Amino acid sequence: MFNIIPKILSIFTKKTDPTAPAITEQNQPKTDKPAPARVVPTAPVKASSKTYRETVKLTPQTNGQYAQKIKPSAIVLHDTGGNYLGSIDWTSKVFYPNTTKRLYASYHCIVARDGRRTITNLDDNRAYHAGASSFKGKSGLNQWAIGVAFERDSHAEPLQEAAMESALEYIIPRMKKWGITPDMVTDHRTVSPGRKVDLKKDEFEKFHALLKKRYNG
């Protein structure tokens, strides 16, 4: 009986082993009780000094048998309204789901909040991004403009630093390649007034000021 007492006391006086692995989300014991839901806030994404990840996923809407060549002389900025991967998936379709109706919704490049970007069209292939539109006295911007879309809605949240830097990495080399000056970089709100509202005016002006600085710098 007395031999049991030291064992009992050792249970209550046992010290934590500093070399033992901490209990984490990966190795904690399983229980029948579900873990509480974790709320992840939408935090600002800061710019990086590194080149942002670029993926090429050309949409069949405007490539291959559906390709129509253009000579771009302007760039139109857009909001996707939805999330990054969902927007890429949507532009990858030729027809509306479960129908034979053609889908006309595509860009040349889609930029995520965190700076990732996907090229969905060649520069000189027509994309269906502007619709009924006019800029500097010339209509039909699908026929002569590159379309670049920022993830989500600039009216609901500001353009992220990472997204703007990534867009500049994509846009400025194409401006120089095609002879597009900063005054020919506009947004959907401007080319389709009363019909479209993207980008938010303040957000477009913020990005355009940065574009001019980098282009001229």
pLDDT of 2 higher than 90: no
pLDDT bin (cut points 50, 70, 90) of residue 50 is low
pLDDT of 99 higher than 50: yes
pLDDT, tens digit, 9 for 90 and up, residues 111-168: 999 999 999 999 999 999 999 999 999 999 999 999 999 999 999 999 999 999 999 9
Give the integer Cα–Cα distance in Å for 173 and 179: 10
Using the Cα atoms of residue 117, residue 118, residue 122 and residue 126 in order, give the sign of their dihedral: negative
**pLDDT in the model for residue 44:** 52
pTM beyond cutoff 0.85: no
**Residue 45 forms part of a structural domain:** no
Q: Which domain covers residue 188, as residue numbers?
A: 54-216
**Residue 166 forms part of a structural domain:** yes
pLDDT bin (cut points 50, 70, 90) of residue 49 is low
**Residue 39 forms part of a structural domain:** no
Q: Treating both helix axes as pointing N-terminal to C-terminal, what angle do 201-216 and 161-178 enclose, rounded to 10 degrees? A: 50
**Averaged confidence pLDDT in the chain:** 84
**Residue 126 forms part of a structural domain:** yes
Q: What is the arithmetic mean of pLDDT over 179-190? A: 98
**Residue 9 forms part of a structural domain:** no
Query: What's the CATH number where 82 sits?
Result: 3.40.80.10
Number of domains in the chain: 1
Q: Is 134 exposed, middle or buried (0-12, 13-18, 19+ CB in 10 A)?
A: middle
**Residue 179 forms part of a structural domain:** yes
**Residue 12 forms part of a structural domain:** no
Q: What is the arithmetic mean of pLDDT over 50-60? A: 92
Give the integer Cα–Cα distance in Å for 133 and 191: 5
**Residue 38 forms part of a structural domain:** no
